Amino acid sequence: ARLAKKRRRLMEHERLILDAPADVSDGEVVMVDTIAAAVDVAGEAEGAVFIQDALSSLTLLQREIITATVLEGVTEKETAVRLGISQQAVHKVKERALKRLRKHIVLDEPTGR
């Protein structure tokens, strides 16, 4: 949440700075329009690498459970059946994994280069 707020603030600041026409002859094109796609792609790539790095800090079981329950939206019960363990075990592993991810995100938060 804090990272998203920081990114929104930065994007708003960049919009104010880059709201001048990029090409005088074109008049309608704004600098931010011409570079927005590149910024979005770079930001998404950095975010994907950061998420991949955070997920790599988990055990295989934790990664499977987080992927299923958080990223794919599968219930804990369905995940338990898929993995052949109890729903309570899925819940416990998921909570530990989320705790580890929170620590990873707080300690290794990417810098706004």
For the whole prediction, is pTM greater than 0.85?
no
Q: Answer yes or no: do 70 and 23 share one domain.
A: no
Same domain for 4 and 23?
A: yes
Q: What is the pLDDT of residue 18?
A: 46
Residue 62 shares a structural domain with residue 90: yes
**99 falls in which pLDDT band (50, 70, 90)?**
very high
Residue 69: its pLDDT value, please?
93
Residue 48 has pLDDT above 50, yes or no: yes
pLDDT at 71: 86
Taking phi over 0 as left and psi of -120 to 50 as alpha, with beta for the rest, 53 belongs to alpha
For residues 12 and 34, give the distance between their C-alpha atoms in angstroms, rounded to a whole number.
16
48, 79: one domain = no
Q: Which of 70, 66, 55, 62 lies closest to 108, judged by CA? A: 55
Q: Same domain for 49 and 82?
A: no
Q: What is the CATH number of the domain that holds 64?
A: 1.10.10.10
| Residue-level pLDDT at 12 | 63
- pLDDT tens figures, 55-79: 888 999 999 999 999 889 999 999 9
Same domain, 105 and 85: yes
Number of domains in the chain: 2
84 and 106 assigned to the same domain = yes
Domain that holds residue 30: 1-56
Last residue within a domain, chosen from 56, 73, 101: 56
